Chain A
Amino acid sequence: MSYTLFILLLPLISFLVIGVVDMDIPKTGKVWSHKAAGLIGTASLGIVTILSYYTAFEYFFCTPRLADGTLPTLVPFNATWLPLGNLHFDLGILLDPISVMMLIVISTVSLMVHIYSFGYMHGETGFQRYYAYLSLFTMSMLGLVLATNIFQMYLFWELVGVSSYLLIGFYYTTAPAIAASKKAFIVTRFADMFFLVGILIFGYYTQSFNFSFAGTVEYADGATHFIACNPETALIKNAAMTVLPISLVLMFIGGAGKSAMFPLHIWLPDAMEGPTPVSALIHAATMVVAGVFQIARMFPIWIDYAPQSLSIVVVVGAFTAFYAAAVACAQSDIKRVLAFSTISQIAFMMVALGVCLPGHGEHANHASLGYMASMFHLFTHAMFKACLFLGAGCLIHAVHSNEMSMMGGMRKYMPITHWTFLISCLAIAGIPFFSGFSSKDEIISACFQYSPICGWWMTGVAAMTAFYMFRLYYGIFWGTENKEHHEHHTPHEAPWTMTLPLVVLSVITVGVGIFTTLGGFLNWDWASFGSIVTATGTQYTIHFDAKIAATSTIIALISIGLATWIFKGEKQPIADKMYAAAPRLHRWAYKRFYMDEVYQFITHKIIFARISKPIAWFDRHVIDATFDLMAWCTHKTSNLIKGVQSGNVQKYALWFFGGIIVLFLIMYFTC
């Protein structure tokens, strides 16, 4: 399967071509460069998508399963990139269930975004640059999921960070975009530092940067030396047992930064300053789930060597899910609502990974239900959240504003956007027969297995999710219409390049939803996500716990009903009353509980003003001054004694004669 190499190479080549070649034909304006850049980017991504689907097909259906029922881990390509003494930094391609699944997610969403951007970015200056960045991002993200070792993951991790930085700052002439891009990069970089230290610890103690696998590793040819890391053969075995949890937690901090977990979430809402398709691709569907993917990747080590530390993931995830949902209820910018919703949903995935317990024998899969649920939610969330963001893009395209107050009653103007948006909202709310239901339900079941508190907590957050999503939905498509604004500029449905991706993504959402929901209730193993991705690699058929499914569905319906009651009408007396009743709470939630201000304080008032400034001052006024003082002393001393060397011959003569007389007297009295 060495053709998988092209999955990485094609976007790289198209990045270089689009990025470097000037595609303008003189005197024709930017028309040609736009078409050429967009077509090259989309075409190469189309091929990548085909390759990915083919890879998935071949991997899941044509590769024979091993004797124990697990899918093999394939390494079609692996080469040492940088030798590091005993260790080595490899670049390669690794295919296993989760990486192949991610391949599908990334290539699908990325292709949709490429097509969508034709319409959305039409006529923008920097169109070519935009497609170059998209290709760079796609390459990096694919490299991240196909990584054969943790260091390669880190390499592409940094690259996605940079492409995210470049894309957030795409509108580089506007101040918020500049600030947001900077913030996103620095916050994730800060988290990456922990990731790096974690990798260093991991590499040093296990003597390998490779992942550990539940299944068997098969590589393409005997020449590539791919050995899965085995903590048992660690350099200092006893140390490894105590040190591995530390290293994993450090890596988790890195993942929390990328996946916007509290308190490192602050960059994601601001990242919405980038073009909307970018938000859909990077800040909803793919890059932000890198943290989840990283934990899933290291999962065999987590579960065997640091199961207690997983509770950190649970606590962080559960709190983040609640926090982000609470904030999302009070935002008025539609992209901010979606951003906080993304944070909350990723936290769901994190929690799902955290609630896994080390199981034994036949119970292993059951105990690690969360792993499967998390990956499943990653998949479904990527689809419906991308759809939501792209829909938001259509709305912004139509009304030229992100504010909910500028919208209202949009269902009349934009039917396709309306229906796809509604489908995705139902999916995220967890209504049966929509994909979100199947995955979220599994997460909540896993949480209940872990502890009832956790289960109820997450059910509560799911209810909040349904509430704020429908608040958003009614605010945009129903509610008070901003007639003044609409008369001035009548909204219209987006062109087909923009609506097509919406339709495709919502079809996936509904299709997956119908099959998995039916499959879950009727125990169809072929329609079960567990047949491809599970913690131990063996097949596992999802069947819903009817109690939990019913509870969560009813709660979701109640929340939706509540939102309908409050926000559907032209006038919203209840909502106004609620704001009036708790103005401070609303203000706090609207201001995101002042987390940004806390960071602002730490960076500007403490790091800049209390560390950097004093150091710079110290450098100029103490260290530099010491050397200047030495020079000054030399200067002064020579000034003092330079009078002797006056250049006045008469003075020299006086000294000369004086000397002669002294010498004469000495000789006279001594001889």
Chain B
Amino acid sequence: MISIELLLLVSAVMLFAGIYGFLTRKSTLAILLSIELMLNSADINFAVFNRMVYPNGHEGVFFAIFAIAIAAAESAIAIAIMINIYRQLKSISADKLTKMKW
């Protein structure tokens, strides 16, 4: 049996990797990936706590499934926006997207 701490460690590593990626990457695609990482780390937490703390319930798993669905929808929208931006500006780097700024 793998201990809960190890599982949570995985999720924490994923979260901080996501945060780090979110703060440092310039490409909006990479930022989106980082967000997905953070979301997935949260999903892992849901699953882990459900499995380890409340083995009789399924709410955590359901939440995780919901989150995955929302994340999928969100990525679809985000990627659609990025494609459109790319078509307009030939770039998806976050630094370059200043056209709508003051």
Residues of A bordering B, CB below 8 Å: 642, 647-650, 653-654, 657
Contact = CB atoms under 8 A, between A and B. Distances in A.
B1 interface: no
Given A653-B23, A657-B19, A642 B102 contact: yes
Contacts of B101: 647
Given A642-B102, A647-B101, A654 B23 contact: yes
Contact of A650 (B22, B98, B100, B102): B22
Residue of A642, A653, A657 ringed by the most chain B CB atoms within 10 A: A653
18 contacts: A642-B102, A647-B98, A647-B100, A647-B101, A648-B94, A649-B31, A649-B94, A650-B22, A650-B23, A650-B24, A650-B31, A650-B94, A653-B19, A653-B22, A653-B23, A654-B23, A657-B19, A657-B23
Contacts of B22: 650, 653
Interface residues on B, range: 10 to 19
B8 to A, nearest CB: 17
Interface string B1-38: 00000000000000000010011100000010000000
A642 B100 CA distance: 15
Nearest to A645: B102
Interface in B61-102: 94, 98, 100-102
A429 to B, nearest CB: 88
A654 B23 CA distance: 7
Contacts of A648: 94
Contacts of B24: 650
Contacts, number: 18
Decide if the interface of chain B is mainly helix, strand, loop or mixed.
helix
A657 B102 CA distance: 26
A650 B97 CA distance: 13
A649 B31 CA distance: 10
A569 B77 CA distance: 113
B97 to A, nearest CB: 9
Decide if the interface of chain A is mainly helix, strand, loop or mixed.
helix
Given A650-B24, A653-B22, 13 more contacts: A642-B102, A647-B98, A647-B100, A648-B94, A649-B31, A649-B94, A650-B22, A650-B23, A650-B31, A650-B94, A654-B23, A657-B19, A657-B23
A650 B100 CA distance: 17
Nearest to A648: B94
A300 B19 CA distance: 103
Contacts of A649: 31, 94
Contacts of A650: 22-24, 31, 94
A653 B19 CA distance: 9
Q: What are the nearest 6 A-B pairs in CB distance?
A: A647-B101, A654-B23, A650-B23, A653-B22, A653-B23, A657-B19
Nearest to B100: A647
B40 to A, nearest CB: 18
Residue of B23, B94, B98, B100 ringed by the most chain A CB atoms within 10 A: B23
Contacts of B100: 647
Contacts of B98: 647
B39 to A, nearest CB: 14
Contacts of B19: 653, 657
A654 B19 CA distance: 9
A642 B102 CA distance: 10
Nearest to B19: A657
B87 to A, nearest CB: 21
Contacts of A657: 19, 23
A647 B100 CA distance: 9
Contacts of B31: 649-650
A650 B98 CA distance: 14
A642 B101 CA distance: 11
B12 to A, nearest CB: 14
A647 B97 CA distance: 10
A18 B24 CA distance: 87
Contacts of A647: 98, 100-101
Residue of A642, A649, A650, A657 ringed by the most chain B CB atoms within 10 A: A650
